[in-house]
Chain A
Amino acid sequence: MVEMVSKDNIENNTSSPLKKRGISYKQQDKIAFMILRGFALAIVLLLGLMIYQLFQASAPAIKEFGFSFIYNDFWNPIEDEFGALPFIYGTLVTSLIAILIAAPVSIAIALFINEYLPKALGNLLGLFVELISAIPSIIFGLWGLYYLAPWVKDSLTPILKSTLGFLPLFSGPSFGIGILTASIILSIMIIPTITSVCREVFKVVPSLQKEAALALGATKFEAIKLAILKPSFSGVMGAVVLGLGRALGETMAVAMVIGNSAEISKSLFGAGATMASVMANEYAEADSEIHLSALCLIGLLLFVVTFFVNFFARSITWKAKMRGKKV
């Protein structure tokens, strides 16, 4: 027989035939594993370093203001007095309104794509929705500043005032930029996130129940309500919370249209600021140490909040998916 391949033949190596000369394969694989593990550990350490650095930089502010930082509502860089309540308020209000708008729309789109549209058309619509998430935040901001804000001022505000003007939410003058405009922009930006997670959640709902409902004479609406929306409720909640997580941390688009004033405005037409937007606006210009530290503390708070929100969202969507797979 012709030896086609040059390799260590068994007979050549009498002492220990199944051992490679030089660096053994076992050692090679061990080295490769060590390298990979090294990088993995480095990334874990990087996150640790990030948390440590944020704490370190926030320490002066924590020491100075303690818990009052969260509930004090004045933010005065000149007097070096800092309370983050206006930004916490701004973040919560804009994110909640964004969710109120985006959640129903996203769920509707996900259902429309999954249940009504033929596959090719559904994928096309899905692609368009995903393209929204590819648009940089700064461009949303630019568009919001020069297009949406005037529209809110000139078209949306009169309508809202004439119908819902009796509510304090819709009182006072509108300059276009403000909480409402920021919320609308945010809602557009988080639609892709909620839609795509909803689509995944709906996909794992077994179609058997829906078909059974249809066979029993239910309308499509009833079948979807019973056999898709109900069983996937927690998964949809997860998607919405994930959208919330994105909204909380969104920076540039909000910073450009919210008006950036550290006040708590009852009216949605008023100006405000969010935790992310105040960092973007003031960080580069902050000159006192305590100001920087206060901004870092806001960053740390935002980090902690988004961490818990994302964690919560992930655990419920994960559970929902597992349940869907089990059925």
Chain B
Amino acid sequence: MSDVVLKVNDLKAWFDDFNAVKGIDLEYKRNTINAIIGPSGCGKSTYIRCLNRIHEEVAGAKISGEVLLEGKNIYAPDADPVEVRKHIGMVFQKPNPFPAMSIFDNVVIGPRLWGERNKKNLEEIAYKSLQKAALWDEVKDKLHQEGTSLSGGQQQRLCLARTLATNPPIILMDEPTSALDPIAAAKVEDLMMELKDEYTVIVVTHNMQQAARVADYTSFFVLGELIEHGLSSDIFTNPKNQKTEDYITGRFG
């Protein structure tokens, strides 16, 4: 198996006539954490939303270029976006447990709707996913309460558990901690580090300290263009591009 799990070739994206992502080429290695940083409006959110074909659900969206998952283009004419999303999961900015649905049902909804009916298996999946999301101990006695009854940080970990239950090799996270308080955010950050053993994580963040702490690689975006990409240790200590340096030292953005 090749070391590169996801390869992006000349990816461009538009909202109607607005060109939000302007030709990105990147590679992501297996079992790494990859951060995307940049000033707001730099297209980092749109970019990550192209990686699991969710950008196209927005009215007026257009995309060109290639994204190769294990060498297969997810934008090939015969590729099914739903199938793509089974392999590339996503956690969103706002915690969004499904309404009027218990914690348990929230976690297992993916496998269940894919056809897993066996109650034992579903319970097993719920247990493992909640364990991995470090939520099991907090919710094991109230699995049948509504997911929306949890606190914000717990809700976000529930959303992570929900994604883990579908067991995608790649997990995208779009500013997963920006709606959380610092303590809850730190918990999610710790989780990312643990997930690295089994998953490849790509995370958009507005928080540079977070990127520096958790990410192996960091990409810096400005106005839809990739300015610099490399090992986080290099980017944050020895940036090659002036813009990057201005941004990480707080002079720009």
Residues of chain A having any CB pair with chain B under 8 Å: 1, 3-8, 10, 16-20, 24-26, 29
Contact = CB atoms under 8 A, between A and B. Distances in A.
Nearest to A16: B78
Nearest to A10: B70
Contacts, number: 62
A8 B83 contact: yes
Given A4-B128, A5-B111, A26 B70 contact: no
A124 B74 CA distance: 55
B82 A7 contact: no
Contact of B79 (A5, A7, A18, A29): A18
Contacts of B169: 10
B125 A5 contact: yes
Interface string B84-116: 101100000000000000000000001100101
B165 A4 contact: yes
B124 A26 contact: no
Interface of B: 69-70, 72, 74, 76, 78-84, 86-87, 110-111, 114, 116, 124-125, 128-129, 165-167, 169, 198
Nearest to B53: A18
5 contacts: A4-B111, A6-B116, A18-B72, A18-B84, A26-B81
B72 A17 contact: yes
Nearest to A29: B82
A16 B73 CA distance: 10
B114 A7 contact: yes
Nearest to A15: B78
Given A24-B80, A25-B83, A4 B125 contact: yes
Contacts of A4: 111, 124-125, 128-129, 165, 167
Nearest to A6: B116
A19 B125 contact: no
A25 B80 contact: yes
Interface of A is mostly: loop
Contacts of A20: 80, 82-83
Contacts of B83: 8, 18-20, 25
Chain B CB within 10 Å — which of A3, A18, A26 has the most?
A: A18
Nearest to A27: B80
Contacts of B79: 16, 18-19
B72 A10 contact: yes
Nearest to B124: A4
B82 A5 contact: no
Contacts of A6: 116
Given A17-B72, A18-B69, A25 B82 contact: yes
B252 to A, nearest CB: 34
B133 to A, nearest CB: 13
A25 B83 CA distance: 8
A19 B87 CA distance: 12
A18 B76 contact: yes
Nearest to B166: A5
B123 to A, nearest CB: 12
A26 B80 contact: yes
Contacts of B72: 10, 16-18
Contacts of A29: 82
A228 B211 CA distance: 50
Contacts of B82: 20, 25-26, 29
B63 to A, nearest CB: 15
B114 A5 contact: yes
A5 B165 contact: yes
Contacts of A1: 198
Question: Which of B74, B76, B83 has the most C-beta atoms of chain A within 10 angstroms of its own C-beta?
Answer: B83
B167 A3 contact: yes
B130 to A, nearest CB: 12
A4 B84 CA distance: 18
Nearest to B83: A18
B201 to A, nearest CB: 16
A18 B125 contact: no
Given A10-B69, A17-B70, A26-B80, 17 more contacts: A4-B124, A5-B110, A5-B165, A5-B167, A6-B116, A7-B86, A8-B83, A10-B169, A16-B76, A16-B79, A18-B72, A18-B76, A18-B80, A19-B79, A20-B80, A25-B80, A25-B82
Nearest to B108: A5
B38 to A, nearest CB: 29
A1 B124 CA distance: 15
Nearest to B110: A5
